[in-house]
Amino acid sequence: MIIKSRTPLRISFAGGGTDIPPYPEMRGGAVISTTITKYAYVILKPRLGNEMRINSIDYNLMMSFESISDLKYDGNLDLAKAAIRLFQIENYGFDMLLSCDASPGSGLGSSSAVMVAIIGAFKELLKKPLTSYDVADLAHRLERTELGIKGGLQDHYAATFGGFNFIEFGKPSVVVNPLRIRPEIINELHSNLLLFDTCKTRLSAQIINRQMKAAKDGQRVVLESLDFLKQLAIDMKNSILRGNLKDFGELMHSAWEFKKKLDSEITNPAIEELYSLAKAEGAIGGKICGAGGGGHLLIYCDLENRHKVIKKLEELGCKIVTFGFESNGLQTWEVSECKVKA
């Protein structure tokens, strides 16, 4: 029996940064986001013997192990290794195939989506009675604590739950609030959003490290900016639920302006040029996805200006990314050699 799982990637509209420790414990964070029709995939196929083989299509890397004791964290396929250790997979052979629709550094939460998909596959294999909160909590703990990869909390919950959510981060818990948005509002929002690959990946670890230190040290500009970003997430939630999408776009612009105050490397001259030219062609708001420095650029503009913004940014080397909204989070299923198990 072959086990498959997939989790969606996400775009965050506002509040990113308020989910990064120690701010949630200090003041409570909030993020508004949605998942999109780009995915992380895992295929898990049991095999005879004890050999565990992991193959990453994205990294063109394959590794094999006979025992948990052979697993060493070295920067290669560590997400899978951490999950194998968590579930104590021993004396059980399998082939695992990993792939993702976005590369690391995209700003779309790809590594966390892969982590959730791996946990989902093992959950299905071992028939573990884990809730969605359990899965997201485990994924966060493995990536942030076990592996020490710097980042926030939002990605694991977005990938696990899926859909439009207002996610609150406090001490000690995270609460995911699904948003009930009218179909016509979702259609209008989709028509007015553009996602571009800037074709420049970013290494966010240093940006996140500096933000964490600044919050811990009580730097006024950083804490006040995070406070404002949290409030903007609340305001954007209200605007989208009420269908005030012009306000939504303007709030996205405000969120980007305050996001840049968190660290000098969140933006750069190339990003500023892209954003300024998009605004000149009619964009209302926008932001770099993720921690900043590169990756994907999200733009909000009226439908009548859409073609002008696309043309201008493609002239500058960006690639338009087509996407839809995904209402489902983590999904797992079993496949036999001849049919899908219902």
Nearest to 310 by CA among 192, 196, 190: 196
For residue range 108-122, list pLDDT tens digits in order: 999 999 999 999 999
Name the pairing type of β-strands 93-100 and 52-56. parallel
155 is catalytic: yes
pTM: 0.94
Q: Domains, the chain, ranges and CATH?
A: 2-180+326-335 (3.30.230.10), 183-323 (3.30.70.890)
Q: Which residues pair with 149 in a beta bridge?
A: none
- Please identify which of the residues 19, 137, 155, 197 carries the catalytic annotation: 155
Phi, psi angles (nearest 5°) of residue 124: -70, -40
149 and 111 in contact (C-beta within 8 Å)?
yes
CA–CA gap between residue 107 and residue 294 (Å, rounded): 8
For residue range 137-170, list pLDDT tens digits in order: 999 999 999 999 988 999 999 999 999 999 999 9
| SS3 readout for 47-99 | ECCCCEEEEECCCCEEEEECCHHHCCCCCCCHHHHHHHHHHCCCCCEEEEEEE
**Stretch 285-306: mean pLDDT, rounded?**
89
End-to-end CA distance of the chain: 13
Reply yes or no on whether the pLDDT at 295 is more than 90.
Answer: no
CA–CA gap between residue 137 and residue 122 (Å, rounded): 15
CA–CA gap between residue 138 and residue 204 (Å, rounded): 22
CA–CA gap between residue 113 and residue 7 (Å, rounded): 6
CA–CA gap between residue 19 and residue 153 (Å, rounded): 5
324 and 163 in contact (C-beta within 8 Å)?
no
Reply yes or no on whether the pLDDT at 291 is more than 80.
Answer: no
Query: Residue holding tokens 């050699």?
Result: 337
Reply yes or no on whether the pLDDT at 338 is more than 60.
Answer: no
For residue range 64-110, list pLDDT tens digits in order: 999 999 999 999 999 999 999 999 988 889 999 999 999 877 889 99
CA–CA gap between residue 295 and residue 203 (Å, rounded): 9
CA–CA gap between residue 128 and residue 3 (Å, rounded): 14
Reply yes or no on whether the pLDDT at 340 is more than 60.
Answer: no
CA–CA gap between residue 57 and residue 72 (Å, rounded): 20
The set of residues, in sequence order, having a beta carbon less than 8 Å from that of 224 and lying 6+ positions away, is: none
Buried b (16+ CB within 10 A) or exposed e, 141-165: ebbbebbebbbbbbbbbbbbbbbbb
Nearest to 28 by CA among 141, 133, 171, 167: 171
For residue range 10-34, list pLDDT tens digits in order: 999 999 999 999 999 999 999 999 9
DSSP letters for 15-38: -TTTTSTTHHHHH-EEEEEEEEEE
